[in-house]
Amino acid sequence: MDSNREMDPEHQVPDGVDEKTVRALGALSKALETTERARGHLYGFHQLTGTADFELGDAVRLLREAGHEQQAARIEREIVGRNVIPGHWTFQIVEAYNETYYQPFATAEHDIVDELADGRDHLLEARLKTMRRTHHHPDHTATPPSSSS
Domain count for the chain: 1
In a domain, 147, yes or no: no
In a domain, 148, yes or no: no
In a domain, 146, yes or no: no
- The pLDDT tens digits for 55-70 are 999 999 999 999 999 9
| Model pLDDT, residue 121 | 86
In a domain, 138, yes or no: no
| Model pLDDT, residue 111 | 98
Cβ neighbors of 21 (< 8 A, separation 6 or more) are 116, 117
More confident residue, 139 or 149: 139
- The pLDDT tens digits for 93-135 are 999 999 999 999 999 999 999 999 988 888 888 888 877 888 8
Q: Provide the domain limits for residue 32.
A: 17-132
Q: How far apart are CA 43 and CA 23, in angstroms?
A: 30
